[in-house]
Chains A and B, each alone.
Chain A
Amino acid sequence: MRLRLVPQETNYDFFRWRKTTFGASMVAMVLSLVVWLSVGLNFGIDFQGGTTIRTESTQAVDVGAYRAALQPLNLGDVSITEVFDPSFGADENVAMVRIQAQDGEESVTAETVNAVEAALQQVDPSITFPSVESVGPKVSGELVQAAVLAVAAALVAIMFYIWLRFEWQFSIGAVVALFHDVLLTIGLFSLFQIRFDLATIAALLTIVGYSINDTVVIFDRVRENLIKYKKKPLQEVMNLSVNETLSRTVMTSGTTLIALIALLVLGGDVIRGFVFAITWGIVVGTYSSVYVAKNIVLMLGTKRDWSKPDEGAGTNFGTPNA
């Protein structure tokens, strides 16, 4: 008995709703951009500077009381959020206190942190501070730069590699799909105001890595089928390729999602935002490989004579040796 999520032989027409799906993707990208620009991202201290203090107490968190206690300290923008997690016991009440970067200070001084801790201890004597993190505006500015640079570098490097191994149309298709994934993730983070920090950038790059992985597997099959079926229209060859790789796409996305959902539920609140970004990215990444990358290649067309081994494209090192 076998578990078959996908029938042995499929012949779905993936291009049937081509205009609708592609249009929906474009609309989603525009919406993400609008939300991103209008609502903005909820930057963590990595990118904005400031201090976060994690509090833990046996008593219930009273956000109002915390806020009132910190009011007289004149710290500017202070945000207090309670943290919930299934792994917390009944007497574990956790909150995150975030303080903006103070004027004229590179990192928040010990006095400020001590004052905050003392004020919170007044409210709740059993409170402890499992972590205190503080980043100065100088470093956070550089981190923003490095992050933007990293995402851009990844996109360019991948575009170049795909162009080397396939054709330029494929590399455009792949990178547009990656843009789509990154933009949709940023849009989601803006919409729900999930904290966006250095780990989120790592998640974005992971999404880029996974999504391109998925795209390349299908492209590889398209390349193979283009050689096999020289006369078939491009659209049919692509549809066939997607159908042939569908079972693998579902299996791999399936195992990856299984692992990520386990981590999302059980991995603790510290990395939840990070894992959530990757999980979401796997879903949109799988979708975009089929519905964005392929549509772009179809629109741009590609050369049909793949019999000559090399035409600006790279070498094929897919020969087995073991």
Chain B
Amino acid sequence: MLQIPLWKRVVILGVVLLGVLYAMPNAFYSRVEAHNDAAAAIEAAGATPEREAAASAWPDVLPSSLVNLGLDLRGGAHLLAEVQVDQVYAARLDSLWPDVRDALREVRDEVGTIRRVDTEDGTLRVRISQAGGMAAALETVRALSQPVGTLTGGTQSTLDVSGSGDTITVQLSEAERAATDDRTMRQSLEIIRRRIDEVGTREPTIQRQGEDRILIQVPGIGSAEELKALIGTTAQLTFLPVVGQAASAEADAGPGNIIHPSLDEEGVFYILERSPVVTGEDLTDAQPAFDQNGRPSVTFRFGPSGARAFGQYTAENVGNPFAIVLDEEVISAPVIREAIPGGSGQITGNFTVEDSTQLAVLLRAGALPAEMTFLEERTIGPELGQDSIEAGRIACIVAGIAVLLFMALSYGWFGILANVALMLNVAMIFGILSAIGATLTLPGIAGIVLTIGMAVDANVLVFERIREELKTARGPARAIELGYERAQSAIVDANITTFITATILFLMGSGPVRGFAITLGVGILTSIFTAIFVTRLLIVFWFERRRPKTIEV
């Protein structure tokens, strides 16, 4: 007969209770959110009376995780960026050039004079005047290469060095490119994260996607443009020796040199050596400040190796100008008056206070190793999100009430029991979503409404089956038992197929669609659970008290 062992009853009720407990914070969303923020603030910056008050608004013993609201509900900006990973190859080879030059100079007897050839294809080409010394030259350059582990477990060298005629071509090997790409991506992720954290915003999402893409979602930010300005600037700071000035960007710079425009002097171009003395990577700190004339500036400090290189260079080049270059523009090109051994300095330019603050933030967070292009940008205003939540809430309530009424009218007392299960079901969906830290999106709300409609299906299957069994079975208890037994295969089969589609949606979807897949999938699980266990338990409780001779479903 209708028997459920005590332990099973306890487990079922326990699971339901846990679900409801975890769902509860969402009913007091703003209060719990304030509590969480305050708790985090106390953790980070110590307690203040206001924080204490906000933190005590929600008891610590209760669960306090909330369903994250997606960008379409909270408002904010979404960017999908592609990192131009191959830009780094050229930079790597540029920094290799001085080593190649020095190494080849040591075998000058065999190779003669050397000259760098300008290339555009991410390779380093060197022409030697005595083509007969090619073998020695190749050997010398190859000695600069180092072994690098590959994905397949073997080792390759970092450089592919080849020679033809009088020209040596150096490029990064495939394994080294892959390793460089990975490093570039990790660096980019880290720097974006630091820059966004500097601004201090709630729960940003910064994720690597695929080989060379980064997904950035920042709730509460005004627009994608603002976000782009923050993270899209490479902030590549370099200190380059100045060769001379030019009248236009097309002027002949000479081998190994580049031309960059001046930031604030129109029509002024500097011819600079390509290989930097020091770069922004050598910086350990940057702060906004004012120079002796009271103009906004940025002070910076180098780490030990940067300080040494900078000190040595300035000592050797007193009286010569050097250029401070930010993202291919010359901020200033002062003349070195004396050696600067301390490793700290000041950048002055035509800055506003905001400029200098922003520049200091960017320098401190570090430069992005490569530029990014933005493939996808979305800005959603907070009011639109609020409207969507409001509309979704009303639709949920109306849909819920209509379904509850329909069920009660159709199945009477059994319908009411199913309704209790349905409400617990919705609570459990929210409980699970909060517990796993899932994100609720607008289609996700639609998923919940859809689940409200579909969740009754399993109960309907059982009830219809009980109705049928009542015609033939001996007594109501047997009919209920058979109803559950015989409906089960239909319930399981039907829901597994739906779950398959939810899984596929989750795997292929992103953002809002994924939010929908999660609520749909979680909804299927909870509705099977409530139909097979919870409604059944409720019916058994009722049946044990009443012991009815006949039932009407």
Binding site for B on A (CB under 8 A): 2-5, 8, 54, 87, 106-108, 110, 113, 128-136, 138-139, 146-147, 149-150, 153-154, 157-158, 161-162, 165, 198-199, 201-202, 205-206, 208-210, 212-214, 216-217, 219-221, 224, 244-245, 247-248, 251-252, 254-260, 262-263, 265-268, 270-271, 274-275, 278, 316-320, 322
Contact = CB atoms under 8 A, between A and B. Distances in A.
A258 B378 contact: no
Contact of A259 (B375, B452, B485): B452
Given A4-B410, A217-B490, A267 B228 contact: no
Contacts of B375: 106-107, 135-136, 138-139
B233 interface: no
Nearest to A137: B375
B532 interface: yes
B87 to A, nearest CB: 16
B501 A106 contact: no
A274 B164 CA distance: 62
A258 B498 contact: no
B442 interface: yes
B407 interface: yes
A216 B497 contact: yes
Interface SS, B side: helix
Nearest to B514: A202
A87 B484 CA distance: 43
Interface string B490-515: 10111111101110110111001100
Given A212-B498, A213-B498, A149 B508 contact: yes
Contact of B402 (A128, A217, A262): A262
B380 interface: yes
B331 interface: no
Give chain B's interface residue range (CB within 8 Å of chain A).
35 or more
A242 to B, nearest CB: 13
B394 A266 contact: yes
A87 B377 contact: no
Interface in B505-536: 505, 507-509, 512-513, 516-517, 520, 532-533, 536
Contact of A317 (B409, B492, B500): B492
A252 B374 CA distance: 45
B277 interface: no
Given A130-B381, A259-B453, A266 B501 contact: no
B525 to A, nearest CB: 14
Contact of B373 (A106, A110, A258, A278): A106
B167 interface: no
Given A3-B406, A322-B532, A221 B384 contact: no
Given A139-B80, A210-B454, A213-B457, A267 B376 contact: no
Contacts of B493: 165, 216, 219-220, 318
8 contacts: A132-B378, A154-B504, A161-B496, A202-B517, A216-B494, A251-B456, A262-B395, A322-B536
A157 B504 contact: yes
Interface in B430-486: 442-443, 445-446, 449-450, 452-454, 456-457, 460-461, 464, 467-468, 484-486
A198 B513 contact: yes
A108 B224 CA distance: 12
A202 B380 CA distance: 21
A267 B426 CA distance: 18
B412 interface: yes
A314 to B, nearest CB: 10
B374 A106 contact: yes
A209 B502 contact: yes
B40 interface: no
A2 B410 contact: yes
A206 B381 contact: no
A202 B505 contact: yes
Contact of A255 (B225, B453, B489, B512): B453
Interface string B51-92: 000000000000000000000100000001010000000000
B175 to A, nearest CB: 27
B379 interface: yes
A133 B224 CA distance: 9
Top 9 A-B pairs, shortest CB-CB distance = A318-B489, A259-B453, A256-B453, A268-B391, A209-B501, A262-B399, A3-B409, A130-B381, A259-B399
B391 A150 contact: no
A221 B513 CA distance: 33
Contacts of B374: 106-107, 136
Interface string B223-241: 1110010000000000000
Interface string B8-31: 100000000000000000000000
Nearest to B511: A198
Given A139-B375, A319-B488, A213 B495 contact: yes
Contacts of B387: 87, 268
Contacts of B468: 244
A121 B407 CA distance: 51
